[in-house]
């Protein structure tokens, strides 16, 4: 079996969603990213914000992604407001040891219930 981290991000389930091969419950889209509801939500509101550019994870991002990374966080805040969240958590898992299961950079926007700390 091939290493999951070696899969190019455009060949992941998120790549297939971006190409329209798999439907999603879209909540926001622009030329840089797509935001949609997680199919296995960990809270009443659980939205994923993914870049259209195939970046594996935060550890693989470079200086050329600075503007994109900022945009993803601004979109995360926008969709949280759109969902009526007064408080929310953003999570970016980077690498298998951190719990990343889809190797295409994505920001989790989680809320709608009290969130404990530490998270895991």
Catalytic residues: 106
Q: Are 101 and 77 in contact (CB under 8 A)?
A: no
End-to-end CA distance of the chain: 28
Helix (H) or strand (E) holding 76, with range, is helix 66-82
Residue 104's φ and ψ, nearest 5 degrees, are -140, 120
Q: Are 17 and 56 in contact (CB under 8 A)?
A: no
Scan for tokens 């939500």, then name that residue. Answer: 41
Angle (CA) 19 21 26, round 5°: 75
């Amino acid at each position: 079996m091939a290493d999951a981290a070696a899969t190019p991000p455009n060949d992941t389930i998120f790549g297939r969603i971006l190409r329209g091969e798999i439907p999603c419950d879209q909540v926001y889209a622009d030329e840089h990213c797509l935001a949609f509801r997680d199919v296995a939500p960990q809270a009443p509101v659980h939205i994923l914000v993914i870049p259209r550019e195939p970046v594996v994870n935060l550890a693989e991002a470079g200086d050329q992604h600075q503007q994109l990374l900022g945009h993803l966080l601004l979109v995360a805040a926008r969709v949280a407001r759109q969902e009526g969240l007064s408080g929310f958590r953003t999570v970016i898992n980077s690498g298998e040891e951190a719990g990343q299961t889809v190797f295409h950079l994505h920001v989790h926007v989680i809320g709608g219930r009290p969130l404990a700390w530490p998270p895991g």
